[in-house]
Amino acid sequence: MTMQIVKNIRTVVAAMLVACALTNASGQANNTFTQYFQLPYLTNPGFAGLQQYTDIKLGSRQQWNSYDDAPKSYLAAINHPVNFKSVAPAETGASNNKPTTYAGIGGFLIQKNMGGYKDLQAGLSYAVHVPVSSSYRLSLGLTTAYSGVKADLDKFIVRDENDSFYKSIVSNNGSLQYFTVDAGLLLSSDRFMAGYSVLTLSSARLGINKDVDSEDELATRHQVMASYNHVVNADWEAIPSVIFRHDRFAGSSVALNVKARYRSQFWGGLGVDPGNSFSGLVGFSFKNNFSFTYSYEMNVSDVQSYSASAHELMIGISVFGKAKNKLLLW
């Protein structure tokens, strides 16, 4: 069993190293939601299908600022385990039941609107979850996504009309289409999670846009995350988490969050991205099959006049799983 675990780890790590070797300078604007824990596979594809139930999410993000046509985003997502065996030894009378390798899949649709700019994104995620002990799993995931951008060029003022990126969009009637690939590695247990992901590991433009100079491509983003679920007592849990992000355009940033959950039904949390934003959220669940979460994010960066605040609403529906499977918070 020990040799098999070592072999599984080597297989997963080797696949991740091969994927990293394929990284290039191209990239996609990465999605950042206040309630990132609701859509974990957007942060790290290794989360795809990790939970023991089918998770459906519907959400909306509305931003307010001093300008008309502030950014708005709408999303629908699903996450599902494949070949997961949740039978415990006590239920079968067997004494040698061991965690098994299983897979997970996920999918999402995101529509982003801002004035004359519209971006429709659709993606599929796949992950393999390999047991490395009785408590921990090592997961490797990949996400491939399509993004179609439409821009009403009459609503934009351009500094340099000779910019190759702008000229490409103009030559294609204000549209931009591309595929991207993300990759993630995740180590998880019931209490602890740590992972590394590369968002926009690779990308390919479609049509005339494929001739855009590589210097105009958006950046690959590297992310490292960790969280711990601390059981305070029979009623309360505390979940601190941290995410470190880096890309060549935005530089580096750290997001710190802490959440508290009461009797697995009510939760709240606070978050800070130093120099950029503060956030808070509250939510509840009904029989672990339905959840509702509201969050508010206040921008405090130098560009706050363009994006002063954001409100998010997220509805979750859990099916095909046991009622004891509470919402994943991290």
pLDDT digits (tens, 9 = 90+) for 44-78: 999 999 988 899 999 999 987 656 677 889 999 99
CB-hemisphere CA count at 13 Å for 131?
15
* pLDDT for 175: 82
* pLDDT for 284: 95
- Quick count: other Cβ atoms within 10 Å of Cβ 35? 22
Q: Which run of H or of E encompasses 169?
A: helix 164-171
In the predicted model, is pLDDT for residue 93 greater than 60? no
Total number of domains in the chain: 1
- Percent of the chain at pLDDT exceeding 70: 75
User: What's the distance, Cα to Cα, between the start and end of the chain in Å?
Assistant: 30
Whether 326 maps to a domain, the answer reads no
CB-hemisphere CA count at 13 Å for 90?
0
Residues 2-31 have pLDDT tens digits of 555 444 444 333 333 333 333 333 334 456
Least confident window among 86-90, 97-101, 267-271, 296-300: 86-90
For all residues of the chain together, what is the average pLDDT?
A: 80
Q: Which of 259 and 301 is assigned the larger pLDDT?
A: 259
Q: Which of 302 and 198 is assigned the larger pLDDT?
A: 198
Whether 262 maps to a domain, the answer reads yes
* pLDDT for 259: 96
Q: Which of 173 and 232 is assigned the larger pLDDT?
A: 232
Whether 109 maps to a domain, the answer reads yes
Evaluate whether 316 touches 56 at the Cβ level (below 8 Å).
Answer: yes
* pLDDT for 149: 84
The b-or-e profile of 103-142 (16+ CB within 10 A means b, else e) is bbbbbbebebbbeebebebebbbbbbbbbbeeebbbbbbb
Whether 80 maps to a domain, the answer reads yes
Of 271, 236, 243, nearest in space to 257 by CA: 271
Q: Burial-class residue 4 by CB neighbours within 10 Å (0-12, 13-18, 19+).
A: exposed
* pLDDT for 285: 92
**Mean pLDDT within 84-112:** 69
Whether 325 maps to a domain, the answer reads no
In the predicted model, is pLDDT for residue 145 greater than 90? yes
**Mean pLDDT within 153-161:** 71
* pLDDT for 95: 44
* pLDDT for 224: 97
Winning range, highest mean pLDDT, from 7-21, 161-175, 307-321: 307-321
Q: Which residue range forms the structural domain that includes residue 164?
A: 2-319
Whether 19 maps to a domain, the answer reads yes
Enter the pTM of the model.
Answer: 0.80
Whether 179 maps to a domain, the answer reads yes
* pLDDT for 111: 95
Q: Chain centroid to CA 244: how far?
A: 14
Beta-bridge partner residues of 180: 145, 203
Least confident window among 25-34, 197-206, 241-250, 281-290: 25-34
CATH number at residue 189: 2.40.160.40
Of 162, 164, 122, 160, nearest in space to 143 by CA: 122
In the predicted model, is pLDDT for residue 305 greater than 60? no
Whether 267 maps to a domain, the answer reads yes
Evaluate whether 245 touches 222 at the Cβ level (below 8 Å).
Answer: yes
